Amino acid sequence: MKSVKLPQPVSITLALFVLLTLLMVATRGHHFASLNHLPSASTAIFFIAGMYLRNMKAFWFFYLLTIGLDLASSYSRGYLGDCLTPSYPALVVSYGLMFVGGYWAKPQWRQSSAGLSSIKVAATLFIVGSIAFFISNGSYYAFSGNFASLSWQEYLARVEKYYASAVTKPVFYVVIAVAIDFVGSCLLRQQKVIAKFNAKESAKL
């Protein structure tokens, strides 16, 4: 995927970038800065970054940020923990899927109805979120070295335990982002209509 020029003003792009960075630091699970009352925003951040930042540099920044936070967490605890295992590199594929899914699902409020755009975002989030979960979850059980004798029945039981939570966690943040985008789009459209009307009235004088 090539980096693309961002259509929104630089100030909005920068504000979103800073907000997503702070959100990642605040909610990245199991480290010293975590806000436990908020759901983990990691997968949602990659999806939202794909929708609105639309730049591969942003993807790599957030991916490296997750690594840095996990390493900092491990250092503060004094041990690597269960997260940093041989399966850890698979996360780049999971996060990449979320980013690409968000890139493709970006709402086009002017070209299609709000309902269709919302359905597109919801369906894409569910599909790529599910695939990303099975990649990260499956690789962890297969390659972490902690579950050498895990049977398929035991694995499916663990999937049942964690799947719903993993897929629904991003919804909270994505709904907020899409709602803000929709309201902003409506306000911008209204301003353009008013400006066009005023221009016509001025031309009549």
Q: Convert the pLDDT of each residue in 90-108 to its tens digit.
A: 999 999 999 999 999 999 8
- Is 5 inside any structural domain? no
Q: 193 or 67, which is more confident?
A: 67
Greatest mean pLDDT range, 78-87, 89-98, 149-158, 159-168: 89-98
Domain range for 16 is 10-204
**Rounded to whole angstroms, what are the CA distances from 3 to 10, 22, 60, 163, 198?**
15, 23, 12, 32, 38
- What pLDDT is attached to residue 77? 67
Mean pLDDT of 48-74: 93
- Is 24 inside any structural domain? yes
- Is 2 inside any structural domain? no
- Is 154 inside any structural domain? yes
- Is 3 inside any structural domain? no
Stated pTM of the model: 0.84
The amino acid at 123: A
Run of H or E including 141:
helix 114-143
How much of the chain exceeds pLDDT 70, in percent?
Answer: 84
Q: Please state the domain count of the chain.
A: 1
Specify the 3-state DSSP secondary structure of 38: coil
- What pLDDT is attached to residue 140? 85
The amino acid at 144: S
